[in-house]
Amino acid sequence: MSEDRAVEAYQDTDWLRLDPRTVLVRVVLFAGVLAGAALPVAFGLAGSRPLWQAFAWVAGGAALALAVTVVAETVRFRRTRYRVGRERVELHTGLLVVQRRSLGRERIRSADLTANPLQRVFGLVKLRIGTGEHTSGGESTLELDLVTRAEGERLRHELLARVTATAPEDPDHDNALAVLDPRWIRYAPVSFVAPALGGAAAGAVMQVSEWFGAQGEVIDWIGDRFRDVSVPWMIVGLILLATAAGAVGALGLWVEMWWNYRLEREPGGTVRVSRGLFTTRSVSLEERRLRGIELVEPLGVRLCGAARVDAVATGLSESGDDRHTDLKTLLPAVGRETADRVAAQVLREPEPPTGAPLAAHPRAARTRRLGWALWSVGVPVAILAVLGLLLTPVLLYVAAGCAVVLTPVAVLFALDAYRGLGHGVSGAYLVTRSGTLRRATVALQRSGVIGWTVKQSYFQRRAGILTLTATTAAGAGAYDILDAGQSQGLTFAAGAVPELLAPFLEPVPTTEARST
């Protein structure tokens, strides 16, 4: 930071207000939510009294709630002010009790902008400033809700650009690591989002029809459509319909999420993801916060040879704050080669660590997975069979059918899960891979490993395998190496992170005497 800028920053200690249109945006949003809630309530009330009366009640209640909101939002706006000083960023807010929060500028690691369609109409953005620390109570983030886009961008640059002055911005130079390729959309319908959306759509149809007391008619109507076909075909038809709806929904969601996607490296050592069709998001990630990369391949996406890239960074808490889970995604599902290339570029590595050859796990790991597979099929089948013997022979046929169909599927999953297991070291990174429905390859900086946890169940002790868990400050907090060979796994862990595990290892006496 140059001398002038420092002085400027020091003097820039006036308290600033949010944009006044914040009140309008929030009231409009609340009015929308209110209208959405009021309709079903009105129809619900209309069951016991005349329609006009129900609507009058609801309208009165809504008007009152709206008035309260207007007052509350105005008070909140008047009481909210923020200040970006040289040392600290401060925010005073609160409706009844004034909350004062301040973050040391040195500790600020992220400044993310989001704007939903309504906010975009008014040219406003929400700015989240985070320190990237795991604290209970979430005291480590400030949220400016809302400021103008220009002010948001200015603050983002000011807060994150520590070395901007030394590395002048070059508008002509293209720092993009990846930009949207519309062909990537072909991986959208094979994600797990599609069936979930399909199920949700079917559920929503039922729920809405129930509000209007028309659920029976809807079911009858569906029954009429399928009058000429047998029940199994009707079920197949409905499932196909829901799947198609889910696929369309997934495509739509993908476009919403990833439109205008751009992953770029910014001066000042940050990686920035900006994307979004209606709701625009800009997520900045300081590179020194980055501890690694996770290459995620959900089953459908993996079968199409694609993978998603997530960041493993400190301060992107996964648990507790569900709203921000998608912040860690750096790249949507794309072809595996592109994913590897982008992963390497983000980490500034010549070769992608996620593509490194990995050591396979001992056969005992496969036996274990096959065992689980057979148990997971065997137990329900056995229950069905016992019930069949006691109640009706139909269940016996169902049990036999389940056993015949599910056993090969389970065995296939087990073998695939075993094939997915692997661990290794690639340069400065510890790489571990596991999972079948959601295969994840994690490349974690070896210097980012801040502890080891070794777990061994009774069965694992007998099979001579163990599960190693590298704990880290970043991402999920811990990454597993499942069912590695006892001796080989420990040697590997001791080698991957020097001087951490080694002092606690001892040679196994040749006359094998297992510990308690």
Partner 1 sequence: MTGENAVRLRPPRNAVDERAVTWWRSRLLATTAVPVVVLAVLGALIGPARSWLLIAAGAVAAVGLGCAAFLPSWWFRVHRWEVTDDAVYVRTGAFWQEWRIAPMSRIQTVDTSRGPLEQLFRLATVTVTTASSKGAIRIAGLDHELAAGLAERLTVITQATPGDAT
Residues that bind partner 1 (CB under 8 A): 134, 314, 317, 319, 448, 450-458, 461, 464, 469, 471-474, 476-478, 485-487, 490-491, 494, 499-501, 503-508, 510, 512, 515-516
- Residue 465 CB, shortest distance to partner 1, in Å, is 8
Q: How many CA atoms lie within 13 A of 380 on its CB side?
A: 15
Q: Which is nearer to partner 1, 212 or 459 (CB)?
A: 459
- Compute the least distance from the CB of residue 389 to partner 1, in Å: 24
Angle at which helix 394-420 crosses helix 363-390, to 10 degrees, equals: 170
Question: Minimum distance between the CB of residue 183 and partner 1, rounded to whole angstroms?
Answer: 37
d(C-alpha 320, C-alpha 328), whole Å: 15
Shortest separation between residue 148's beta carbon and partner 1, angstroms: 34
How far apart are CB 423 and partner 1 at their closest, in Å? 16
Strand partners, 90: 83, 102
Beta carbon nearer to partner 1, 354 or 469: 469
> If DSSP codes are grouped into helix, strand and coil, which group holds residue 137?
helix
First to last CA, the chain: 60
In the complex, minimum distance from the CB of residue 516 to partner 1, in angstroms, rounded to a whole number: 5
Looking at the Cβ atoms of 334 and 484, the one nearer to partner 1 is 484
Cα atoms in the 13 Å half-sphere on the side-chain side of 466: 17
User: Is the Cβ of residue 329 or residue 469 nearer to partner 1 in the bound state?
Assistant: 469
> Which residue's CB is nearer to partner 1, number 168 or number 503?
503
Q: Tell the burial category of 25 from Cβ atoms under 10 Å away from its Cβ (0-12, 13-18, 19+).
A: buried
Per-residue burial over 285-316, b if 16 or more Cβ lie within 10 Å, else e, is: bbeebbbbbbbbbbbbbbebebbbbbbbbbbb
Contact of 177 with 272, CB cutoff 8 Å: no
User: Minimum CB separation from partner 1 for residue 33, in Å?
Assistant: 33
Burial of 250 (0-12, 13-18, 19+ CB in 10 A): buried
Pairing of strands 270-275, 262-266: antiparallel
Closer of 76 and 328 to partner 1 (Cβ): 328
Q: Contact 188/28 with Cβ under 8 angstroms?
A: no
Nearer to partner 1, 64 or 478 (CB): 478
Taking the complex as a whole, the smallest distance from the CB of residue 189 to partner 1 amounts, in Å, to 34
**How many whole angstroms from its chain centre is CA 129?**
19
Shortest distance, position 429 Cβ to partner 1, whole Å:
17
Q: What minimum distance in Å lies between the beta carbon of 328 and partner 1? A: 14
> Is 505:512 a contact under the CB 8 Å cutoff?
no
For residue 387, whether the previous peptide bond is cis, meaning omega lies within 30 degrees of 0, is no
- Measured from the CB of residue 365, what is the shortest distance to partner 1 in angstroms? 13
Is the CB of 165 or the CB of 454 nearer to partner 1? 454
Which CB, 182 or 320, lies closer to partner 1? 320
Judged by CB, which is closer to partner 1: 293, or 484? 484
Q: Which is nearer to partner 1, 180 or 450 (CB)?
A: 450
Q: Token pair 């909140």 is at which residue?
A: 76
User: Which residues, in sequence order, are CB contacts of 388 under 8 Å at separation 6+?
Assistant: 394, 395, 396, 397, 398, 399
User: What's the CA angle centered on 455, arms 453 and 458, to 5 degrees?
Assistant: 165
